[in-house]
Amino acid sequence: MFYFIFLIFTPIFFQQASSLYFTNLVVTLFGWNRPICRTVADAVYVLDTIVGIDHYDNATIETSRYIPKGGYAQFLKINGLRTKRVGIVRDLYNFGNDTITAQIVEQHLKTLRKEGTILVDNLEIANFDEIYTSSDEDIAFAAEFKISINAYLKELVVSPVRSLADLIAFNKKNSKLERLDYGQDLFIKAEATNGIGNAEKAALVNLAKLTREGFVKLMTKNKLDAIVTPDYNAAHILAIGGFPGVIVPAGYRSDRKPFGLCFGGLKGSEPKLIEIAYGFEQATKIRKPPKLKT
């Protein structure tokens, strides 16, 4: 069994880098189009290759100020963990009965300290429960997705589908090919929306408030470079604010399924996240390459 580096570099990696103008706010809020690479270095080389401004997407122009001169590969530093302030939010460390994963994660936290990381433990994010139970993310996502995907499909030079409704119909017609046994509930829910109304505006305002009073306040108050969490447990927190993150292989659960550690930070913190992720990867060397039959 083997696995890969999983990135959710939202502000830069998915706007400036991927040039997907049809996912403007969808990308910003919800971190779609995440690349999966073998190593942190591979992911950074991809980032350096595709990063830039997409003139079809105004968001990439705004966030271009975060692109460092000289690119991102310069931050692949083996001693990248030294002096970094990394926060631990224990609400995100819920392992259930999986004591093996819990032990592995705690061992990795010790490794971080050994490599010079300053861990700030037992932190709390304001409105944590609301972030994970609120329907605002789903409300905003559905409406923005329909608007964005329709705009994208309409501009394609050649395409058998021109709208979300067309996509839904195509999937129904080709249910076996498109594996409709997995359903397309998100498509159907999005198609039922009618633009950005009062409910959607209220949801976006509340998401911004939760982000400002939660993650942003946590990071600035404690002067953190990043937070560290098991797997994608912080995905909602990072996604609703358009924040970057990277998941690096960390080990295997009791059921032998792989899991990772996620390092997330504020907008523009990609250089520090790369240093932290690469430093952790080099200090642990967890990933096992596949055994291919010849």
Q: What percent of the chain is modeled with pLDDT above 90?
A: 63
Write out the chain in H/E/C secondary structure. Answer: CCCCEEECCCCHHHHHHCCCHHHHHHHHHHCCCCCEECCHHHHHHHHHHHCCCCCCCHHHHHHHHHCCCCCCHHHCCCCCCCCCEEEEEHHHCCCCCCHHHHHHHHHHHHHHHHCCCEEEEEECCCCHHHHHHCCHHHHHHHHHHHHHHHHHHHHCCCCCCCCHHHHHHHHHHCCCCCCHHHCCHHHHHHHCCCCCCHHHHHHHHHHHHHHHHHHHHHHHHCCCCEEEEECCCCHHHHHHHCCCEEEEEEEECCCCCEEEEEEECCCCCHHHHHHHHHHHHHHHCCCCCCCCCC
Residue, of 178 and 202, whose pLDDT is higher: 202
Where do the domains of the chain lie, and which CATH numbers do they carry? 5-124+210-284 (3.90.1300.10), 136-201 (no CATH)
- The tens digit of pLDDT for each residue in 56-103 reads 777 788 888 899 999 999 999 999 999 999 999 999 999 988 999 999
pLDDT attached to residue 138: 92
pLDDT band at 33 (very low <50, low <70, confident <90, very high): low
1-5, 210-214, 258-262: least confident range:
1-5
- For residues 31 and 221, what is the distance between their CA atoms, to the nearest angstrom? 25
Say whether pLDDT at 235 is over 70: yes
Amino acid at the residue 38: R
pLDDT attached to residue 287: 84
For residue 256, is it left (φ>0), alpha (ψ between -120 and 50) or beta? left
pLDDT attached to residue 10: 38
Say whether pLDDT at 6 is over 90: no
What's the predicted TM-score (pTM) here? 0.86
Say whether pLDDT at 189 is over 90: yes
Say whether pLDDT at 28 is over 50: no
How would you class 2 by CB atoms within 10 Å of its CB: exposed for 0-12, middle for 13-18, buried for 19 or more? Answer: exposed
pLDDT band at 14 (very low <50, low <70, confident <90, very high): very low
- Mean pLDDT of the chain, nearest integer: 86
Q: Beta-carbon neighbour count of residue 143 at 10 Å?
A: 24
pLDDT band at 218 (very low <50, low <70, confident <90, very high): very high
pLDDT band at 34 (very low <50, low <70, confident <90, very high): low
